[in-house]
Amino acid sequence: MTETHENKPLEVAPVEEKAPLPVVTTEADEKSANEEAPKPVFQVKEPDNDKNKAKPVSVDVSSIKMDILKALAEARSTIAVIKGDTQVKTEEKVSETSEVVEIRQPAEEAPVVPVSVPDVKTVESPKRSKSRSPVKRSSPVKEVVAADVDEFDMFAAAEMHDGAVLMSPTGPSVSAAAAATVQSNFDDADGYYKPSVGEILNGKYRVSGAVGKGVFSTVLRCHRVGDNAYDESNAVAIKLIRNNEIMREAAQTEVKILTELAEKDPRDKKHCVRLLDRFEHRNHVALVFESMQMNVREAMKKFGGKGGISLQAVRIFAKHLLIAISHLDTCGIVHADIKPDNVLLDDKQTMIKLCDFGSAFKLDEGKHDPTPYLVSRFYRAPEIVLGLPYDKAVDMWSVGCCLYEMFTGKVMFPGSTNNEMLKLFMELKGKIPNKLIKKHRQAYIDQFLMEPHFTGDNKFCSRELDRVTAKPVLRLMDVVKTKMDLGSALLSAKSSTDDRKLVLELRNLLERMFTLDPAKRITPTEALAHPFVKNEGKQGY
């Protein structure tokens, strides 16, 4: 829900025949090319601002032209059938099996007319797991899937405005199949909304660009329509939930939680992102949030390089995160997905807010059955991996992982599987307590029907790859030797301006956050009273 540049209306040069498309750049891009990156309020260890420069992309204009001609021919054919004109010219017919490229017309051109195609193709998204059933599509729309999470082109030259006429008012009523076709024009195969720059949402918000895409939604950067529309004070972030009943239900829970958090924080001092508005847009729940500059992971890449951010910044952010989870604790809410991506930084780089409450739940509602896969893996607490009941303590573990990563620039527990995560936990903190192992075995065998990570006599089953044969092997370990010293790791990341005593205070705080037994883990109230946080000055508050 953040953006590193000011987004103004994107101007796209028209495509000329036999000429390559120009590379479109924003005013912010041109400015950043000639000026130094804005210096953050906190000191940085190793600025690194020259990564990932954009490269021009060549486009085959002739192939695009042919695809457009095919689409127009099919549209003319179908319209003729609807009007009762069955004498369609043979040369204008398009094969039923041909693919159709979705076209969004500029506002000044003719409105888009959705086409209903007789046959129904079965298309399986490349990103779906093999166990899922193929999805039936009502029109063979060509899918362009990127290698990363961005499956749509936010900077397409054409647009689809809310005022576009979808069907001729004098034509027949839209059938269920045609309605499905219309919706498929707005959604991709997985139910994500496909927006376009300049599109107006709910008559109030103009799309400026894409922030990103997650499991539950697409996040857009928008500006309120009106005078000074592109002033930063009018910027908002809009989360468009996937067109899916399960996701819609989750969105209602998120709205309920955000509303309660805001009602119990009328002065906006608890560092939780604010929900400003909500509405429905083309069968998608839309949640409007205050706009923040970027998330902490992006800030670390931009300002911290490979060495993390300054100790002073970590102290400020530690206090803000602890205030946030303390507020959640007061409301009986668990966030359940705290990570640098879900921590937003303001434009002055002095304050952060916790965001993305899509996985959050109320402790007293009983809708949080144990699962070994809650929370993003690197920030997952031991009790989750073990399949045990969990509560607010999982958020404290995740905060500890975030603070370590902020300071060192490295992931605290970079396990590739839950089994490897347990091994890393024990290499830092020693053996998992036997009482937790006993409960873990019972949960895995009786509830999850999965093979436990420990034997009946409490030996750890380490699943590894043999170094010689590269084949999977199972090693039974009585004791997992502690290999990592937290103090040494933190001191090695210390810069010349970081106080050694403060680094050791951070180590003590993290040791208590990484207590394996959740019942003995430090609480938000205790953490806020810790010297590393309590003795911090007033800067940034």
| One-letter amino acid for residue 401 of the chain | C
Q: What is the pLDDT of residue 125?
A: 38
Among the ranges given (191-205, 364-378, 412-426, 516-530), the one the predictor scored with the smallest mean pLDDT: 364-378
Residues in Cβ contact with 199 at an 8 Å cutoff, skipping those fewer than 6 apart = 159, 160, 161, 162, 206, 207
Among the ranges given (120-129, 182-191, 375-384), the one the predictor scored with the smallest mean pLDDT: 120-129
Among the listed residues 176, 20, 184, the one whose alpha carbon sits nearest the alpha carbon of residue 112: 184
Among the ranges given (118-122, 376-380, 442-446, 516-520), the one the predictor scored with the smallest mean pLDDT: 118-122
Task: State the alpha helices, DSSP H only, in 288-392.
Answer: 296-299, 311-330, 382-385
| Beta-carbon count within 10 A of 26 CB | 18
| Mean pLDDT, the chain, whole residue set | 76
Task: State the alpha helices, DSSP H only, in 364-499.
Answer: 382-385, 393-408, 418-429, 434-442, 486-492
Which residues are part of the catalytic machinery? 337
Number of alpha carbons in the 13 Å side-chain half-sphere of residue 105: 15
Q: What is the pLDDT of residue 133?
A: 40
Tell me what the mean pLDDT of segment 19-32 comes to.
40
Higher local confidence (pLDDT), 6 or 155: 6
Q: What is the pLDDT of residue 510?
A: 99
Q: What is the pLDDT of residue 230?
A: 76
Residues in Cβ contact with 356 at an 8 Å cutoff, skipping those fewer than 6 apart = 1, 214, 337, 341, 342
Helix H or strand E encompassing 431:
none
Distance CA 6, CA 224 (A): 14
Look at residue 295 and give its three-state secondary structure. strand
Show the CA angle centred on residue 141, arms to residues 137 and 143, nearest 5°. 100
Contact assessment for residue 205 and residue 222, using Cβ atoms and an 8 Å cutoff: yes
239 is in an annotated binding site: yes
Q: What is the pLDDT of residue 134?
A: 39
Domains by residue range for the chain, with CATH: 106-291 (3.30.200.20), 294-534 (1.10.510.10)
